[in-house]
Amino acid sequence: ELSEKSLEEDLGPHVKGTCETLPSRIKVTKEEHDQLGNVIRVCEGNIVVNKCEGTCLSHLKPSITTATGFLKECLCCRESHMKPKEVHLTDCFDLDGKKLSDTMTVSMTEPTDCSCHKCGQ
């Protein structure tokens, strides 16, 4: 049985690189429907939610224990923790495009922390 040990420091799945949690402004549009599926109103708004952005260290190194002769370590910037968030859409319109005075609350999730993880996991 072949085995090998890297002489380099093991980077592990949580190497930061430039991966970070950043605020992001997005436009959200949501339709509200009645029991028959007809649109009652449409609400929209510009909201700020967190996103994951940045780079992570990945590498390919020779290996005597793999069939290809190389050991691939691919890391991607993605969420480590998520939290629920309620946002309020303040621009609501009826089917004729008339602005309504009410608002709509929408539930979503956003990342609270981002870090490097093995790709595909």
**Residue 68's domain is classified under what CATH number?**
2.10.90
> Does 3 fall in a domain?
no
What pLDDT, on the 0 to 100 scale, is given for residue 100?
A: 94
Q: Quick one: pLDDT at residue 5?
A: 52
pLDDT the model gives residue 80: 94
* 84 domain residue, yes or no: yes
pLDDT for residue 61 = 85
**pLDDT of res. 33:** 94
The answer to whether residue 42 is domain-embedded is: yes
Quick check: is 5 in a domain? no
Residue 89 belongs to what domain range?
21-118
If one counts the domains in the chain, the total is 1
pLDDT of residue 77: 94
**CA–CA dist 117, 119 (Å, integer):** 6
Sign of the torsion formed by the C-alpha atoms of 45, 26, 22 and 107: positive
pLDDT along the chain (121 residues), means of 10: 49 63 95 94 95 91 83 90 95 94 94 91 55
Q: Any idea of the CA torsion for 77, 83, 84, 88, to the nearest 10 degrees?
A: -70
Q: Is residue 28 part of a domain?
A: yes
Give the predicted TM-score (pTM) of the model: 0.68
